Amino acid sequence: MTVRGPQAWQVAAFALVVGGTVGAGTAVLDAALRPWQIGGFRPGAARSLAPRPRAEADTTLHAFGSVGTGAKGSHVFTIRNVGDGPLTLTPGASSCSCTIGEIGGATGSGPEARAVVPPDGTAPVTVQWTGKGNGGPFRQQVTILTDDPRRPEIALVVEGTVVPTWKAVPDALVLPGITAGGGAQGGVTVFTFGATPPTVKAAAIDGEDADRLFAVSTEPVAADTVAAETGATGGFRVNVEVRPGLPLGRLRRTIAVTFDMDGEITAEIPLAGDVGGDLVLAGPGWDTGRQALMLGAVSGKAGLTTQLFITAKGPRASTVRPVVRETVPASLTVRVGEARPVGGGGSLRIPLEIAIAPGSGPVNHLCSESGPPGRIVIDTGHPDTPSLTIPVCVSIGP
């Protein structure tokens, strides 16, 4: 048997059919995997060429130095649109209520505020702050939201130091060695912290007869003194002179100085000391620390009897002739005893018989917030201490 192979024309035809089929499949596969294009246009390229905003800030940090407590400050940041599409800015969160962001050209208010910045345009953003607390480092920020996908938010930061609006050095005026005859004097320096120098409008001391008992004056302080106090921008000196006639015992008053510095401010400075002289008080209920007669709680049914002594010293001791002018409460009675010499040096000791009669009505003068102190007021006859007011801490119950 004879086996014949395919003829040449048959081989050629088979190759043509197979080659065409494989070629067509390859073309279809290539068309499916390769993005179509017409000339130089590609769909992906169209998306990348769409206008987009691009946000940039000249700076995002402002160091303001120092600001006084309660004082206000502000700084303007600039946000630029360096893209080729409009940039939308809206206010975001702030780190505390003392920082507020305002965007220039924005429409609306609050969270609805919105500013549109054209390509190559700028928008000013104002950040405001108020110094709060007792002083120290300050750092707060406000956030601006953008529609730039590269930079969806910009944090703007302000930092510095909060200092008091004013400060007294020392913080209280303590006058040592005060006598009823006067002569004591002293002062404090008030430093201020703010853009405007202080202008003093008034200075006074509280309490009865303050104009008669004290002289208060103010004067500017030298520039080098202000410069030596960290953060201070101005200041003045408060001088106090004690005149004759202060009552013996503890001195506790307040110096009030009103000055203008972008608004009216009143600085209150404690004034303290112990007033001595030729008259000295002593006795079983006398508290030298509080400079008061401590009678405590007294039964209205039983009443109370005690003693207090006035010792008069010095060359004018013989002029002392105590006369009781007032007692609070009214149920408190005081009888002045006979003066007797003590110590052989010309001093006199004068007893005061103090009594609360049985059957007295209830009162509260325990020297507390709810019970102000009572008092015994005596005209002494002494030229330096013509009047002596003795605080009395007492309550009368059933």
| pLDDT at res. 10 | 53
Question: Per-residue pLDDT for the chain (398 aa), expressed as one digit of tens each?
Answer: 444 555 554 544 554 444 555 454 444 445 444 544 444 445 544 455 788 999 999 899 999 887 777 677 889 999 999 999 999 999 888 876 667 677 887 765 666 678 899 999 999 999 988 777 667 888 888 999 999 999 999 999 999 888 778 889 999 999 988 887 777 899 999 999 878 899 999 999 998 789 989 999 999 999 999 999 988 899 999 999 998 878 777 889 999 999 998 778 889 999 999 888 888 899 999 998 788 999 999 999 999 999 999 999 888 899 999 999 999 999 999 999 999 998 777 899 999 999 999 999 999 999 988 899 999 999 999 888 888 889 999 999 98
Q: Provide CB contacts within 8 A for 290, sequence distance 6+.
A: 250, 367, 391, 393
- Decide: helix, strand or coil at residue 15: helix
Q: Which backbone phi and psi does 214 adopt, to 5 degrees?
A: -135, 150
* Selection from 200, 196, 243, 198 nearest residue 218 by Cα: 200
Farthest CA pair distance, the chain: 173
Question: In whole angstroms, what is the distance from residue 262 CA to residue 272 CA?
Answer: 31
Asked if residue 212 lies in contact with residue 154, where contact means CB atoms within 8 angstroms, the answer is: no
285 HSE (CA, 13 A, CB side): 20
* Residue 87 contacts residue 54 (beta carbons within 8 Å): yes
End-to-end CA distance of the chain: 152
pLDDT, residue 151, reads 94
What would the two tokens of residue 351 be?
């007893």
Cα–Cα–Cα angle for 207, 212, 217, rounded to 5 degrees: 85
Task: Answer whether 0.75 is exceeded by the pTM.
Answer: no
- Closest by CA to 189, choosing from 164, 162, 167, 216, is 167
Q: Give the C-alpha separation, 16 to 70, whole Å.
A: 95
Residue indicated by tokens 């987009």: 52
Residues facing 159 on adjacent strands: 63, 139
Three-state DSSP class for residue 229: coil
> Which pLDDT belongs to residue 338?
94
| All structural domains of the chain | 55-163 (2.60.40.10), 166-274 (2.60.40.10), 279-397 (2.60.40)
